[in-house]
Structure 1
Amino acid sequence: MARLAIQQLDDITDAARPVASLLRFPVSPRRQAAARAGRQTNIAAAVLALSVLADSSVEHYRGSFRNRAMVAPLGAAALTLVASLSGGLDDRPQRHRGRDGVYALAAAVGALGLGFHTYNVLKRPGRLSWHNLFYGAPVGAPAALVLAGLLGRGAERVREGRRVMGLPAARVLAGVSALGLAGTVGEAGLLHFRGAFQNPAMVLPVAAPPVAASLLAAMAAAPSKPLGRVARLWLKLTAGLGLAGVGFHAFGVSRAMGGWRNWRQNVVDGPPLPAPPSFTGLALAGLAALSLLMESAGD
């Protein structure tokens, strides 16, 4: 009896399959490529949001959450992470309004945090000085949340193939990724300068990513396939550096007094473990934009 019921269900399914294929709207290869690039950019935003969430949690814990507003970036980053993971699993070539709203919120919270951190630096004695830039509220952290929001919104527009400010969304996304890489290089350079570049590997985050950012910006301005191939190599190198940086920072924590046995203090005061993946997230976004730019570029 059960076998007969299963056989009948299979027959109905086989009969309905041609009708379902007729009712399904065809998606062009170009739209499929745009949706795929959108998902990749969602994943890039997820990596960046996770980096911000972990970094802000450590930094604001060190600050004892003296200001109630210090909880806001954690909530915004967590929502952005969830929305981005959802977008990474969504293969539809349409923008999702809920995710788009979360990304707009993240960008707004990041912009406010950037203002707070800038005020924290400027209100200290000496105002804009190396000491205050080294030990004041890090400007790069809220800027990374802004970037996560912008990348997420860019992902939703890329998957629809929409234009932004009169330009193809892929070119705008490439430009934003290039600017984000440049800003992240500045933050890494500042902190590694504070560390006196005591490890020769500390030069890598301020040497390779600027090349990738420059090539990506050139692709955004004038796409070409030969340039895109070179840019892809440097972006992949930058993404790898971001992951390797976590290992280097973990090694730095182990060298502090007590090592990982004293992790409660050394993770807070040592090299920031969540910071290097920012390079990975921005490089992944650049690679997603690059794939679309190379498709539209001539030889």
Structure 2
Amino acid sequence: MFMWILIILLIVAATAGLLFLIGHVFYSVCLYMKNDKQYITGPIVMDKRTQKYEKIFLTYGPQDVYLTNRQGLRLHGIEVDQHASKWAILMHGYMGRNGELVDVADFFLEEGYNVLSLSQRAHNKSEGKAVSMGYYESDDLVDWIRYVVQKDPNCSIVLYGVSMGAATVMMSLAKNLPANVKACIEDCGYTSAWDEFSYQLKKMAHLPPFPVVHVASLITKLRGGFRFKDADPLGAVHRSHIPTLFIHGTKDEFVPTHMVFKLYHFAHYPKQLLLIEGGEHAIARYQDPALYFSTLREWIHTYV
């Protein structure tokens, strides 16, 4: 009898140890940005299309700007100040690449906006060791919004984000934003980090969320200070009052399209849903740029 109890205890201990090891690996692979992520994102390159938009963007004379956030991290942004009364603040996605949103920046510049294109913490020139799937990044965005309002107290601001950047933007909506923020545009954001990681675990490893996501969330709380359910765009959207345009591609296999329907449903304020037929993750605008940017134009003309 004692032998069986000992064997069971050893099995339980080994299983617990394995799960905690998996949790630490999960954090290191997915959230700790000091490790190379090219096996997830592919090599960081700019294609010819992006290079074309980059050349246009450079003609506006963009400037590097920096801000020290409430946690003491020095964050980086690229600013084009056309001395307009309207600002567009852009947030890239997970492992955002240089020039990822230059076409969007060009669009807003041509519409007469000033543009602030940000590098999220632990990306590019911004300090930080790990990402929080929009949880802490949304606080950083609030700091940047205050930076803009301090420059121009009477300005109007539109927030735009893609993928994790969309999650960051959506989570900022539930915070005490200044009245200068008039509208939001989110493209292919997820409902929560918990939902996204659960989906990816099932899709890539054919495993249910329990117990891996539960343990990984616990380890993330210990190492990163947040739980996966804390990164909750859905809850933030539900508490927001800011008009929001929701965009998603119908062939998004990274953040599944069904998530946008839930986000849209939980928004109880002026809202619009744009589905891009055949659009893939974070690049749906390339599938149908005419529809994409005409919808953006109509949206900002209505609310900003």
Task: Give TM-score, length-normalised by structure 2.
Answer: 0.29
Q: Larger helix proportion, structure 1 or 2?
A: 1
Q: Which has the larger radius of gyration?
A: 1
TM-score for the superposition, normalised by structure 1: 0.29
Higher RCO, Cα 8 Å, sep 6+: 1
